[in-house]
Amino acid sequence: MLVITLKYFGMLVEQTHTHTEKIELAANKISMNDLELQILTKYPKLSTLTYNIALNQKIVAKEALISNGDEIAFLPPFAGG
Amino acid sequence: MLVITLKYFGMLVEQTHTHTEKIELAANKISMNDLELQILTKYPKLSTLTYNIALNQKIVAKEALISNGDEIAFLPPFAGG
Amino acid sequence: MKKKNVFIQGAITPDFIANSIAKHQSKTTIGAHDIFLGQVRADEIDGKTVTAIEYTAYEEMANTKFDEIRERAFDKFELTCSHIYHSLGAVKAGELCLFVFVSSPRRKEAMKALEYLVETIKAETPIFGKEIFKDETHQWKVNS
Amino acid sequence: MKKKNVFIQGAITPDFIANSIAKHQSKTTIGAHDIFLGQVRADEIDGKTVTAIEYTAYEEMANTKFDEIRERAFDKFELTCSHIYHSLGAVKAGELCLFVFVSSPRRKEAMKALEYLVETIKAETPIFGKEIFKDETHQWKVNS
């Protein structure tokens, strides 16, 4: 079982209605890609938005594997400055 | 006869010992080049220094002619900023 | 380089900037400072005027990223100092939301470094901006 | 554009800079300010340390030239404002002698304009600097 933290920012929060949540996954390994599919099932309207996903504060490839305790963040386009 | 004002700046003043002087020239016309020769006769050590000459606040060609009342400035290398 | 907190609650004030400048007057190898300030524009979009931008950020990631960007700038350019500050929360039109400050013995290094920093901050740091209109509707800002 | 006096007696203070910035907060079409500050370096030359630079200028010509340079910058770049201030008289090491301030709706225009202004000021304005050493000897500064 994996316990991970999910974070959502900016316009994405208008679909998830939460900034952060902890979820449990009944698996020992899961790729970023598979996680994303699960999240899109939960929040279907996210698929209409543009975002990148960071694993433990780094943008990684979709094949990257998630470990217990990881933090995954959904990041809409940047607008700093 | 021409009455003109001469100005000297920066390191040039260490040779001329004056910032400004009015001089009279016994001529109706004189080129910048001829004026420069006269000034170098007066202050021979100026010839060892680098400078540009401005006529009425503009850097002009040495052939430019000087009129009565003009202001001629001897400008060493710029060091603003 | 120690890890810094880049974020400031609300607008960055001219006094804050003056203080930063004053602190560098004891560093007498510096010949050139170059400063970039981002100011919130009262843009008109479809007849509605922006009155403020409300900034949020993935703060931990952004602070790590800012450190990394500053380190890259020190590697690339001859810099004496480099500082970055960004607002969080609401910043009204006309107020300042970004302050990037580089100092170098030579002006060309400072200018190249400032451009590098500003462009990289805009492209790589997870900061989000909600443009608030006069009628209290909003749209999400996207850097171009 | 009205003719301005660019010259300030002595060093330019951080407070003066803060004031200039604050004055631009009512101009809500501005999105980016870019500021260059020249600071006097305590250079060591042949074992002697510069303690100050004493600036003089052909003031009338310099002010005309500064106006002309600003006008050229407005022609070349999309600028909202542009200001230039330069010291006259003694400016100690660590103090500021040049303040160039440009504002634009867009950052790239501001950055290009600032570089143009600073390079042109250095090359074209009749300002002269006497570097004063600790032992009260001096040498004349030449821009490179």
- The CATH number of whichever domain residue D64 belongs to comes to 3.90.1170.40
**What is residue C2's predicted lDDT score, i.e. its pLDDT?**
57
Q: Give the pLDDT confidence score for residue C93 in this predicted structure.
A: 98
In whole angstroms, what is the distance from residue A75 CA to residue C73 CA?
A: 25
Contact between chain A and chain B (3 or more Cβ pairs less than 8 Å apart): no
Q: Do D37 and C42 touch (CB under 8 A)?
A: no
Question: Which of A9, A11, A81 is the closest to C38 by Cβ?
Answer: A81
Is residue C81 assigned to a domain?
yes
- Decide: residue C59, CB within 10 A, 0-12 exposed, 13-18 middle, 19+ buried: middle
Task: Please list the ranges in chain D whose pLDDT falls under 50.
Answer: none
Alpha carbons within 13 A on the beta-carbon side of D62: 27
CA angle C77, C83, C86 (to 5 degrees): 130
Predicted-complex ipTM score? 0.94
Nearest CA in chain D to B6: D58
Q: Does residue C2 sit within a domain?
A: no
Which of D14, D35, D94 is opposite residue C28, by nearest beta carbon? D94
User: Taking 90 as the threshold, does the pLDDT of residue B55 lie above it?
Assistant: yes
Q: Which tokens go with B13?
A: 């003043």
End-to-end Cα, chain D, rounded Å:
30
Q: How many structural domains are present in chain C?
A: 1
CA B76 to chain D, closest CA, distance in angstroms equals 8
Flag whether D61 is in a domain: yes
pLDDT value at residue D57: 98
Name the residue type at position C98: L
Report whether C44 contacts C134 (CB < 8 A). no
∠C46-C140-C67 over CA atoms, to 5°?
140
pLDDT at B28: 85
Residue type, C70: R
Average pLDDT, chain A: 95
Q: For residues B35 and B53, give the distance between their C-alpha atoms in angstroms, rounded to a whole number.
A: 10
Closest CA to D4 of D96, D82, D117: D82
Under-50 pLDDT residues of chain C:
1
In this complex, is the C-beta atom of C122 within 8 Å of any C-beta atom belonging to chain A?
yes
pLDDT tens digit string along B20-51? Answer: 999 999 888 899 999 999 999 999 999 999 99
D3 CB-near residues (< 8 Å, 6+ apart):
D63, D64, D67
D34 and C35 Cβ atoms separated by less than 8 Å: yes
Q: How many CA atoms lie within 13 A of D2 on its CB side?
A: 2
User: Is residue D2 in some structural domain?
Assistant: no
- CB D111 to CB C114 under 8 A? yes
Nearest CA in chain D to C49: D28
Is-contact D103 D80, C-beta < 8 A?
yes
Domains of chain B: 2-75 (3.10.20.30)
Whether D125 sits inside 8 A of B79 (CB atoms) is no
For residue D30, the chain C residue with the least C-alpha distance is: C41
| Cβ within 8 Å of A, C 5-64 | 38, 55-58, 60-62, 64
Residues C138, C125: Cα–Cα separation, whole Å: 22
* Total residues belonging to chain C: 144
Our CA angle for C124, C125, C129, nearest 5°, is 120
Q: A28: pLDDT confidence band, cut at 50, 70 and 90? A: confident
The CA-atom distances, in angstroms, between C95 and each of C40, C86, C87, D32 are 6, 12, 10, 11
**Residue pointed to by tokens 């560098």:** C24
**C53 token code pair:** 């931008």
Over C11-60, what HEC string results?
CECHHHHHHHHHHHHHCCCCCEEEEEEEECCCCEECCEEEEEEEEEECHH
Q: Is residue C103 part of a domain?
A: yes
pLDDT at D144: 75
pLDDT tens-place string over residues C85-109: 999 999 999 999 999 999 999 999 9
Instruction: Assess if residue C42 is contained within a domain.
Output: yes
Residue D18 host element (H or E): helix D14-23
Domain assignment present for D1: no
Q: What is the pTM of this model?
A: 0.95
Percent of chain B at pLDDT > 70 equals 100
Q: Containing domain of residue D85, as a range?
A: 7-141
What residues does C48 pair with on adjacent strands?
C45
Q: Is residue C47 in some structural domain? A: yes
Best of C25, C80, C104, C109 to mutate (most D CBs within 10 Å, chain D): C25
CA distance C93 to C91: 7
Cα C36 from chain centroid (whole Å): 7
Cβ separation of B76 and D140 shorter than 8 Å? Answer: yes
